[in-house]
Amino acid sequence: MWRKITGYYITNYFYITFPLVSLYKFACLSISIYDIGMAFSCNNHFSIILIIGFILSSELKPVLAQNSPVFACDITSNPALGNLTFCDASLTVENRVNDLVKRLTLGEKIGFLVSGASGVSRLGIPKYEWWSEALHGVAYTGPGVHFSSLVPGATSFPQVILTAASFNVSLFQTIGKVVSTEARAMYNVGLAGLTYWSPNVNIFRDPRWGRGQETPGEDPTLTSTYGVAYVKGLQQTDDGSTNKLKVAACCKHYTAYDVDNWKGIERYSFNAVVTQQDLDDTFQPPFKSCVLEGDVASVMCSYNQVNGKPTCGDPNLLAGIIRGEWKLNGYIVTDCDSLQVIFKSQNYTKTPEEAAALGLNSGVDLNCGSWLSTYTQGAVNQKLVNESVIDRAISNNFATLMRLGFFDGNPKNRIYGNLGPKDVCTLENQELAREAARQGIVLLKNTAGSLPLTPTVIKSLAVIGPNANVTKTMIGNYEGIPCKYTTPLQGLTASVATIYKPGCADVSCNTAQIDDAKQIASTADAVVLVMGSDQSIEKESLDRTNITLPGQQSVLVAEVAKVAKGPVILVIMSGGGMDVQFAVDNPKITSILWVGFPGEAGGAALADVIFGYYNPSGRLPMTWYPQSYADVVPMTNMNMRPNPATNYPGRTYRFYTGPTVFTFGHGLSYSQFKHHLDKAPQFVSLPLGEKHTCRLSKCKTVDAVGQSCSNMGFDIHLRVKNVGKISGSHTIFLFTSPPSVHNAPKKHLLGFEKVHLTPQGEGVVKFNVDVCKHLSVHDELGNRKVALGPHVLHIGDLKHSLTVRI
């Protein structure tokens, strides 16, 4: 059993009993087993525990798809269940939930507070695993999903950071729809659940964050837009029902979570000190949008503390804001074993029972892990939590399952009941993965005469680099088993003859194989260098300290460029940005492409761009900083705004005052586009009452509430023309630079649109601007204020002055 289980994952195929081990996170079981050693995808300090637990454990049991999956309220198999009110799908969710809760004992209720929910056989309710992941495809990183010979893989789309670079809202939602279809198909054959803890809508605040790859980037508007679209794609049903769910999405990790493990500072004990202003204008908007606009079914609280309070134990953040202000229609779940972290890592409570009670009383409904199943009974006995609180929690959980149809019996006779293995990894889905990668790839530099390459002219192409022929690297983290892979080398070789040398043994590139690389580069008509990182450099529980190309990669690139006789194309495969200023400045390096982690079809998409089959249109969703930024700015400083007194430069394009390698929104095309402003006002007047204080004294801002905000909007029309010779898509950004009040952002994204134009083709892009929503800023207390005075609108490459007055 120890031999040659190579390349498979225990979370896919095997359940391991660890009698002596209590894990922080079940995801740490994502292990590749080889003849002798083990490679772990979790913290190193778990590795020894896992090895001991594995050796001492005698059980390694295969988990296979059930031949006949068991469904709750399956009246066909058990007619007696028809007498149970909660099994009556014609009743309201509220009535069904109330009936079910009343039938349960306290012990049974407690069993439904955890992700591995207990079943109740006397009521025909099977066990249910809540934890499944679908960040960019159905993934095996949660125990709720298993691949088998029946469904050996699922479509693996680009990692989120690259999809976000497409700035294509319809693409965001379409991917979500495909992922939910594949998830439903796997659920019908007993291989997956219905609750998926995706998307990650944290802000990519610092370039070193290992999980930045999972996010839509650094901007709250883009992140909010992506989150809403992806949630809708996952959740919305095709029958028009507003209360049913196709699958249940979850926006995570709430809130101000973006430090994993930086110089020994871990997420489990990190206290994010955040101003109210930064919280409300940077960290909270994506979650607020998820709930209010996306109607997401769940929000996950994070490991870290915010201003001294654990997020999963903060009644203001959970019950007060998510449930109270935003009116979440769903459940609040902890990150895995966060309640254990509160007690053991943060020492925030004196007893385990206090930690359990703190979470429940703060608004937690579901615990990823087993903490609540172990300590809730004791918390009740000690009168730390009332049974009514438990009823509230499981009612929210049951209501979500009711909306999913979990209690509607066998799904075969209901919507999506016809889905099965035939609907996973379809040709259409695989082509969408390729299209998503194409749309996200960003052309960062392009010297005249470099890209696109002409296949009929290129007789030999040197392909060099540690990421040139990789497979799993392309799908990033929170991954599944893809339908198939197309590596960069395979994609390029499909069009031209190639010569390949890796140049480095791996991405760490401790010793570059420079001579071999130079030899093939010196005789080739063109060179493609595929460099960058992988999960050994940046991932969950691993933040970077350096943001340059790892090891001797930059030396390899520079030496190859010296001897190359034709175009040199540098391709960077990474989650975060890299300081590649040396390549920007080197005229021998004629083009630079960023491909993120491009998914299963990444190699084909890269070739499409390089050979001009596809005109690149991606734009960077994050700032690329120089290494000097990482050298002097502590990752743990959560302040977004600069502080000249301490030489703190601030963060993200909205506030950062220092030099950049590439700016947010940067991206080139093989075409050129011209903009002409057709319509935009020069003045906007806010209606204020005669006795309003701002009529009696001079004001710099007005509260963005009440009568002054009624029907206060205007339209902007921008004419766009493709003046190039190639058809292409083009993203138009609408930014604003508000007056300098309340430490407002120097620039802020209001919206974006993507158009596709043929050569010499024209189109009109329209933006509707809501004055109080789009032209307001947050003051130091987090209140929204409309800034009076001159605003500068950045529309495409144009600027327009607009004055807001009373």
Give the C-alpha separation, 384 to 357, whole Å: 6
Give the C-alpha separation, 569 to 637, whole Å: 36
335 flagged as catalytic: yes
Check 206, 281, 335, 534 and give the catalytic one.
Answer: 335
* Residue of 464, 614, 585, 588 lying closest to 527 (CA atoms): 464
CA distances from 136 to 123, 143, 770 (A): 36, 17, 32
Give the C-alpha separation, 26 to 131, whole Å: 10
Would you give the DSSP letter of residue 309? Answer: E
398-414 exposure pattern, b = at least 16 Cβ within 10 A, e = fewer: bbbbbbbbbbbbbbeee
Q: How much of the chain is in helix, strand and coil states, percent to nearest 5?
A: 30, 20, 50
Give the C-alpha separation, 262 to 253, whole Å: 18
Residue located via tokens 């998503």 = 436
Tokens of 705: 């509430």
Three-class SS state of 440: helix
Angle between helices 427-440 and 169-188 (to 10 degrees): 150
Give the C-alpha separation, 202 to 752, whole Å: 20
Give the C-alpha separation, 152 to 480, whole Å: 10
**How many H-runs (helices) and E-runs (strands) does the chain carry?**
23, 31
Write phi, then psi, for 442 (nearest 5 degrees).
-110, 125
Give the C-alpha separation, 531 to 553, whole Å: 7
Would you give the DSSP letter of residue 325? Answer: I
* Residue of 335, 135, 134 lying closest to 215 (CA atoms): 135
Are 578 and 532 in contact, with CB atoms under 8 Å apart? yes
Give the pairing of strands 14-16 and 60-62. Answer: antiparallel
Would you give the DSSP letter of residue 13? Answer: H
Active site positions, annotated: 335
